[in-house]
Structure 1
């Protein structure tokens, strides 16, 4: 056996040292597998896209934050900095996935597929910005279902008269999305019933329609939300098994030529960890500046959470989804858009409720009635459009129009 591949054994002199060293073994393993070197991996990671020039806004956002610059500058710098970080998170995840096999790759993508949304949500939760948590999560669902999917259908419609996709898998995903939507209707219905019972004499229909969670939540509402969150996490685990194991054939796209990875597994893992930490810092700065920015520049906080934040976190997914749609890979497009929405609704939101439970923040699944209705209408429209397994540019235009109407409504709703 050559010295490069020899196992770790004591030397002949019996001093217990190893020959070769662990570092040499790792290098030999990487060379044997034909993986890129660390230098090549990080050159690719940092230099493969012009979008990475926006990483310059990371130090700018930190300087603005610690120097207490104007809130709009702090918000804008951290807002822009998260855009390339979202792409780098996706890139590191993809590079790791290429070597881990289908099951582990699926679990990794499920965990980090919406990492930016979860990081922003945790940052807002720890600052007790419960409304920002809720609106940003809801906004991510609406952005994926309406804006990203709509733009994908529209772009594909300009290239192909009609695009086809696997209808059974799409319907299974949309059915789970419907279940998640219904679980958000139940807390809203409970809240409305209790409010009507307790305030029958001074009932104000309009205020109840736009009512938002109080600082101190009803114990029953907390119990419903926390119990439902645990159940949704269980359903999400079952969905992963359905998608990756028992019914994986439903979600298989056309055979693609295997791409040579541009990063080693270890370097991609380190990059993923480092990018997550930096994203957490930028998200913390972003959330800390929202309150002052909203007040000084008269921007409704629900609009910031529902429209602006999801645009940042979904920027990379948006580009990927549209690109896949234009290549005729509609299964991948549906998987990105609907699958990401399912991750948010059945994994990210319940996870944040449980994290809030652990750290003493009373986050619930109760959304204002207006928000619940917009989600229900969006899911209903998506289900209607994908049930035939075909798409065209007109369907994309419908989805984008509904998204713009919702954005307008949240701009005027204080």
Structure 2
């Protein structure tokens, strides 16, 4: 039978016409693009609409610098700034794919690719044995989302609107989960302090920010106990995150749905058209999936170049590694989220802003970090949930401040300034020489 075979069809007026069956080529197209979806050309044209993509020229330059073994400065700079457009493309493709899927699949997709850059950088650093880079970059991403991104969003929204409102129950649920994740990081630090011994055999339980010259590492039994605590906690946090997804997407989905906003140009309260129109995907599902796969692979290679050049770059310019991990890398990885969150806040979509900032931090603290600990367990890398005293305190006070500010379900520009100020104080402390505090002491 021919691919273009036709079938006789009797119409209502008695005339006979023919109905052409779809060709093999059209059947193939139907498999990769559903009816009504944008074409592949239109899909990828959408991905190239951001000015961030100008920096994509740095991707081949990063590969070239690594292949020709150029200086660490060029390798670090090219790969550092090349991550920015790749993160933006990952976010766009994930968002477009989520629009075409159900809530459950969209939630799982966001859990996997929402922090794809952080996962890629973390896995790359872990497999290279850069444990401190893994820890500082993960914690830095959480602090960046909670303080810098959320602070700038509150500030931008507060400048345009006197006060913005958001769902209190959902925000408090997110904040409570972040508090749980914070506590799980405090416990390994407390255990480490209790089991750390000095050269004279006296237990050290005082958490000094200044390193005691007599202080040595834990004994072998203490190290084993720290690994057991970290790996067991990681598995528990992964279980909590799965329960959180079920809570958010299934049993209590109504708590996380933003209230519909009325367009400012329509004043009629009874007019249904006054409600904002639902967003429509600009990419087909298959095109977005292929784009996600390709961009993820490219990002993994760029991240490998970036992580491989960090140590040489930091030593050459005397930059503390904690500053690179806590401040610089998260700033690049969260650049796209930063712009999206601020833009949503200026459109008075504060629920989406909270979801981007706090939700992303929850993914990192209860999914990405435990995932990396589990991968390190499997691959033989002793990654733990123990963070230095400075990092633990910084995380604790950040979660505390965010909890205090979002508990009333309202935001203004002054609250944004508070969050940004705390982030700048932490960045200033990270920029100090490592001998000032315990960052990078291990």
TM over 0.5: yes
1:175 matched to 2:176? The reply is yes
Once the two structures are superposed, the pairs formed by residues 169-318 of structure 1 within 5 Å of their partners are 169-196=170-197, 200-201=201-202, 205=208, 206-207=210-211, 218-255=223-260, 256-318=276-338
What is the aligned partner in structure 1 of residue 161 from structure 2? Answer: 160
| Residue 374 of structure 2 is aligned to residue 354 of structure 1 | yes
| Distance in structure 2 (CA, Å) of the matches to 1:337 and 1:104 | 21
**Higher radius of gyration, 1 or 2:** 2
Unaligned runs of 5+ in 2: 7-20, 261-275, 435-442
Classify the secondary structure of the residue corresponding to 2:319: coil
**Rounded Cα–Cα distance in structure 1 between residues aligned with 2:153 and 2:252:** 25
Candidates 8, 27, 31, aligned match of 1:25: 27
CA distance in 1, matches of 2:429, 2:43: 45
Change (3 A) 1:23 1:355: farther
Return the offset for 1:208: 5.9
What is the Cα-based RMSD across aligned positions, in Å? 2.4
| Equivalent position of 1:395 in the other structure | 415
CA distance in 2, matches of 1:182, 1:23: 57
Contact 2:55/2:85, CA 8 A, preserved across alignment: yes
Report whether the alignment pairs 1:324 with 2:328: no
Greater helix share, structure number: 1
Hey, what does 1:141 align to over in structure 2?
Answer: 142
- Match of 1:218, SS state, is helix
Q: Which residue number corresponds to residue 376 of structure 1? A: 396
Give the match for residue 43 of structure 2: 41
Given that 2:197 and 2:218 are in contact with CA atoms closer than 8 Å, whether structure 1 keeps it comes out as: no
TM-score using structure 2 length: 0.86
Contact map agreement 1:212 1:368 (CA 8 A) in 2: no
Q: Which runs of 4+ in 1 moved over 3 A?
A: 3-6, 19-24, 28-32, 196-205, 211-217
- Residues 286 and 22 of structure 1: is their aligned pair in 2 closer, same or farther, counting only changes over 3 Å? farther
Give the secondary structure class of the aligned counterpart of 2:277.
coil
> Could you tell me how far 1:198 is from its partner in structure 2?
7.6
In 2, distance between residues paired with 1:233 and 1:5?
55
What per-residue deviation string (whole Å, max 9, x for no partner) do you get for residues 277-308 of structure 1?
A: 00000000000000000000000000000000
> Structure 1 length normalisation: TM-score?
0.91
Q: Does 1:62 align with 2:67?
A: no
Report if aligned partners of 1:132, 1:301 keep a CA contact under 8 Å in 2: yes
